[in-house]
Amino acid sequence: MRSHMNVHSSKYKCTECGKCFGSKQGLTLHSRIHSGEKSFECTVCGKRFTYSASLVVHSRIHSGQKSYKCHECHKTFSSVGDLNRHMRVHTGDKPYKCSLCDKSFSQSSHLNTHKRYAHSNRRPYDCRWCGMLFKSSEVLKQHVYTHTGAKPYTCRHCSACFTQYGQHKSHLLKSHDEGTWFTCHICEKKFTCGEILKIHIRRHEGVKPYVCRDCLKAFCTTTELKHHAVKHSDAKLFCCGLCAKDFKYKHSVPKHFKRCAVKLGFSDVQCLQSIYECVC
């Protein structure tokens, strides 16, 4: 405790974030976070790291060394941090609570993802093909496949290809019985994804945690709430790609687009519409 208290009165203070350290060496190591300096390089794959300890942990990926074992299910891990995060699966511990709603998470990365998707309108990632904006690079990556036609996920059993990992996982379960089904304890319906099962159970139990601030109507999912919120807004977020007419609802666009294409004299209306829907 006394050693720790010295940190707060230390003269070694980071000028970037104000964090204090007990030694000059500690401050020097910390400053690499702000400078972006990564002096330690993996000799196998070339990936670089800020700290030597991070390189040591990373090297276990190549060596296959997994020294940390779960006493519950005997699964092994390459670092004690990975083991500690895994143990929350068994304990149910969710120490990372969202400050904006009542949701809690077992990992800090899951909390950050939740805040970005559920509580932020910021979309920093844009598609170079059509200009659409996205909240994460991973969602953008999945979206780009609709333009390129790429199907990076290949079934090892029948060589079927898929654009999204979720489609691949679902195929393995349904066609080859590979993986784990998530079964509803009320009606025994099976799901390929645990999150979808949680939403399904909410409908059985009548739980609707997402409430509209304008009319207090409640919904099971954030998606349903967002669709409902459009009723209270004058914003028109969807438009026709031919005449630029704006629409409040996405489902209003296809019918208009078809009429618009005929009016403007396009011969292959169906082909044109399928391309437009792929982009939008």
Q: Which DSSP string do the residues of 94-112 spell out, in sequence order? A: --EE-SSSS-EESSHHHHH
CATH number corresponding to 96-148: 3.30.160.60
Is the pLDDT confidence value at 270 over 70?
no
Is the pLDDT confidence value at 279 over 50?
no
Alpha helices in 149-268 (DSSP H): 165-176, 194-205, 222-229, 253-263
Neighbours of 21 (CB within 10 A): 19
User: Reduced to 3 DSSP states, what percent helix, strand and coil does the chain have, rounded to the nearest 5?
Assistant: 45, 15, 40
Mean per-residue pLDDT, 129-153: 82
The single residue listed with the structure tokens 């401050």 is 27
Please check whether residue 167 is in contact with residue 153, taking contact to mean a CB–CB distance below 8 angstroms.
yes
Q: If phi over 0 gives left and psi between -120 and 50 gives alpha, with beta otherwise, what is residue 171? A: alpha
Better-predicted residue by pLDDT, 113 or 274: 113
Mean per-residue pLDDT, 151-177: 89
Binned at pLDDT 50, 70 and 90, residue 268 comes out as: low
The pLDDT, as a whole number, for residue 184 is 92
Contacts of 189 (CB under 8 A, 6+ apart): 183, 200
Percent of the chain scored above 70 by pLDDT?
94
Least confident residue range of 26-40, 72-86, 161-175:
26-40
The pLDDT, as a whole number, for residue 278 is 40
Is the pLDDT confidence value at 275 over 60?
no
Please check whether residue 51 is in contact with residue 40, taking contact to mean a CB–CB distance below 8 angstroms.
yes
For residue range 36-91, list pLDDT tens digits in order. Answer: 788 888 888 888 888 888 888 888 878 878 888 888 888 888 888 888 988 888 88
For residue range 217-267, list pLDDT tens digits in order. Answer: 999 888 888 788 878 877 776 777 677 788 777 777 777 877 887 777 765
CA distances from 152 to 146, 172, 193 (A): 12, 15, 20
DSSP per-residue letters across 23-75:
SHHHHHHHHHHHHT---EE-TTT--EESSHHHHHHHHHHHHT---EE-TTT--
The pLDDT, as a whole number, for residue 237 is 66
Is the pLDDT confidence value at 272 over 60?
no
The pLDDT, as a whole number, for residue 205 is 92
CA distances from 13 to 1, 8, 89, 153, 230 (A): 19, 9, 38, 48, 49
CA distances from 109 to 71, 98, 114, 151 (A): 25, 12, 9, 27
Least confident residue range of 124-133, 184-193, 267-276:
267-276
Say if domain 181-233 classifies as CATH 3.30.160.60: yes
The pLDDT, as a whole number, for residue 52 is 85
Least confident residue range of 13-22, 135-144, 262-271:
262-271
| Strands 218-219 vs 238-239: parallel, antiparallel or unpaired | unpaired
> Residue 158 and residue 173: Cα distance in Å, rounded?
13
The pLDDT, as a whole number, for residue 19 is 82
For residue range 93-130, list pLDDT tens digits in order. Answer: 999 998 888 788 888 888 888 887 777 777 788 888 77
